[in-house]
Structure 1
Amino acid sequence: MNVRTLGFVTMICAPAMLANAFRHDFQRVLNGQDDVIGNLTYLVFAIGWFCSMLALRQLHATGHGKLGSFVVTLPLVTIALAALQGPFDILHVDMNSPLYAVTDLTWPLSMLLTFVVSVAALFARVLPMPHRLAPLACGISLPVGFAYMAFARLEDLPQAEFAWHTAIGWFLLGLALVTLGARRSAVQARPA
């Protein structure tokens, strides 16, 4: 898929976790306790997230070297593993199994790696400046959530804020990718 298409998929999938949060009145739902629709919303979000990282990889957003390529490729692995958690919950896979534990751990790990990608994209200066900030809107969602937890002395991530942040952040990233993909297509279409 080209960058523009990947951006559209990211935009479409961005509000999936927010939709599920609305379904549960922004109350936390523990692993294995959501219904099929809820588990599928997490899978849909992960698909959009994966597409956004794939587009950033195609754009060499984190740089053209081996380290930049590695930084943007690693989340593709962890997001793919995290995406399996929804189907595992639908199939009632034992939550104590090592594979389930891996899928559960890769959600926050993928969020942290998204933050690393966003910082790398900011410093690599491959993308034009306004577009360079779009990955950061996604990358800060977990750190901002943890900071809010600490400030408000909460025991868990604030569900409403986190759901809105991810929906808006990934939508903006998808929009940036669509714009960059359109520019890239226009440049490639110009006669030499």
Structure 2
Amino acid sequence: MNNRTLGILALIGAPFLLIDTANNGFNINQSSGISGLLNLLYTTGWICAVIALKRMGAFGDKRFGKIIFWVQISCLVLADCWNIYEWMQPRAETTLYFMLDAFWPIGNLCMLVSGITIAAQGVLKGWRRYVPLAVGLWLPIGLVLWAILTRTPGMLLFSGIYSALTWSLMAIGIITSSGNTGEANQQPIRGLAGVHPKLQETVY
């Protein structure tokens, strides 16, 4: 799967947090199996974007960039496990359910660190360099609005629109970059399958 395809999948997934929020009537306390499915699409698109950014070299070659990439992916995979749990058994309220749910905010916090890392590395050029940081700012901006406005429908609407726009811009940056850079600039993800060349061909 090339970066352009990953970017397209990320673009498809970008609006689903907003769609889920609207489907719940802009009430953060609402939850359902449909929410789990919509968030699964959202987070899976996010995973595709992060993998594409890694393959474009956006995290850099230093050890910290590699570590934050794997931490980011791990958090998102665990958040997706919660999404599947919510889809299959809404509001299960088991210990595992709450443990997995914690990886939603952790994954967003990690995205802030990822965005700062990508901006500092400067591998991406122009506006693309700072879009992952804008994506990562979703959590602190949301917390500030939450503190000022509490959980009002307007605050949730703004948060959802911000998410859809910034995640879409990140996906568009990936799609347009892959057309210009080609496969030669796509770096393999060592350790994903450190394995057999044939398996790496399947992943990449």
> Which band: TM-score by shorter chain?
0.7 to 0.9
Shift of 1:38: 2.1
Structure 1 segments, 4+ long, off by >4 Å, are none
Q: Percent identity?
A: 25
Shift of 1:162: 1.6
1:5 counterpart letter in structure 2: T
1:113 counterpart letter in structure 2: C
Secondary structure class of the residue paired with 1:84: helix
Establish whether residue 171 from structure 1 lines up as the match of residue 168 from structure 2: yes
- 1:182: which partner in 2? 179
Distance 1:59 1:145 in 2: 29
Q: TM-score, normalised by structure 2?
A: 0.82
2:172 counterpart letter in structure 1: L
How many residue pairs align between the two structures? Answer: 183
Q: Which whole-Å deviations, capped at 9, do the CAs of 1:127-169 have from their partners, x for residues lacking one?
A: 11211011112111011111112333x2689321221111111
Shift of 1:75: 0.8
- 1:79: which partner in 2? 76
Q: 1:118-129, aligned counterparts within 5 Å?
A: 118-129=115-126
Distance 2:55 2:167 in 1: 17
Aligned 8 A contact 2:58 2:121 in 1:
yes
Distance 1:145 1:46 in 2: 18
Aligned 8 A contact 1:14 1:167 in 2:
yes
Aligned 8 A contact 1:57 1:73 in 2:
no
- What is the RMSD of the two structures over their aligned residues, measured on CA atoms? 2.0
Shift of 1:90: 2.8
Aligned 8 A contact 2:35 2:87 in 1:
no
Shift of 1:92: 2.1
1:14 counterpart letter in structure 2: A
Structure 1 unaligned regions, length at least 5? none
Distance 1:28 1:110 in 2: 18
Shift of 1:187: 6.8
1:96 counterpart letter in structure 2: T
Query: Closer, same or farther in 2 for the Cα pair 1:59/1:96, shift >3 Å?
Result: same
- 1:65: which partner in 2? 62
Q: 1:29-40, aligned counterparts within 5 Å?
A: 29-30=29-30, 33-34=31-32, 36-40=33-37
Distance 1:37 1:148 in 2: 26
1:116 counterpart letter in structure 2: V
Distance 1:131 1:161 in 2: 22
Establish whether residue 24 from structure 1 lines up as the match of residue 21 from structure 2: no
Aligned partner of 2:93 among 92, 95, 101: 95
Secondary structure class of the residue paired with 2:102: helix
Shift of 1:182: 0.9
Q: Which whole-Å deviations, capped at 9, do the CAs of 1:55-97 have from their partners, x for residues lacking one?
A: 1111121211111111122110000000111221233274222
Deviates more, 1:121-130 or 1:155-164: 155-164
